[in-house]
Amino acid sequence: MHLSRLGGGVSMLRIGITGGIGSGKSIVCNYFEKLQVPLYHADDEATRLIDHNLKIRKKIISFFGEDAYAKKGLNKAVIRQRVFNDQKALTVLNAITHPPLMKHFNDWCAAQKKQKHPFIIKEAALVFESNSYQMLDFVVCVVAPLETRISRVMQRDGKTRVEVERIINKQWSDEEKIKRSDFVIQNPDDELLLPQILILHDLILKKSALYGK
């Protein structure tokens, strides 16, 4: 639990939903959205901001060079290649992007208060790796067996096994994430998701009533 972050006067809990590639974060978040929970897609918002925010663009170009951007936005292939095995370049990229992304999330949360829902959900692949868990009250980790995740992503994205495994090997393991999470949702293909989500939804509502005053 991260109750120390709740402080006084908190009126809306912030719940992070994370998990490795192919674990089923998006499916879980879709269920919460159907339950009227406001949903922030951290990865989509980050892509949008990095592609279109001029201040971010200027800083990225000044470090990575003009070919960091193509017409439509960030040249992901170029950046991926630069940061894949270069920790310093990754640190610089994070230092440029994290503060504006955090501000965007905070502003979005402030706007949601008008809707008076007791909690919001932030879907993000890298809650712990990016330290963004510090802005959340509770973190939920979605897990599924490795083989299941690999075949889901191969099928969804048309990637090869080697490509998927390379991504997985760069991510934190489920064990690391579970250790730091407050709740875990099991999502192998044969597990029923909805009952787990309803129980969790109820639990978070109770926590909101307890802490969100």
In the complex, least distance from residue 180 CB atom to ligand ATP, rounded to whole angstroms: 17
Burial zone of 206 (CB within 10 Å; 0-12 exposed, 13-18 middle, 19+ buried): exposed
Q: Looking at the chain, how many residues does it have?
A: 213
Burial zone of 163 (CB within 10 Å; 0-12 exposed, 13-18 middle, 19+ buried): middle
C-beta closer to ligand ATP: residue 53 or 171: 171
C-beta closer to ligand ATP: residue 25 or 177: 25
C-beta closer to ligand ATP: residue 92 or 168: 168
In the complex, least distance from residue 30 CB atom to ligand ATP, rounded to whole angstroms: 8
C-beta closer to ligand ATP: residue 146 or 205: 146
In the complex, least distance from residue 55 CB atom to ligand ATP, rounded to whole angstroms: 27
SS3 177: helix
202: nearest Cα among 17, 32, 33 = 32
Q: Which residues bind to ligand ATP, rule: CB under 6 A?
A: 19, 21-27, 125, 152, 156, 187, 189, 193
20: nearest Cα among 109, 153, 111 = 153
In the complex, least distance from residue 45 CB atom to ligand ATP, rounded to whole angstroms: 14
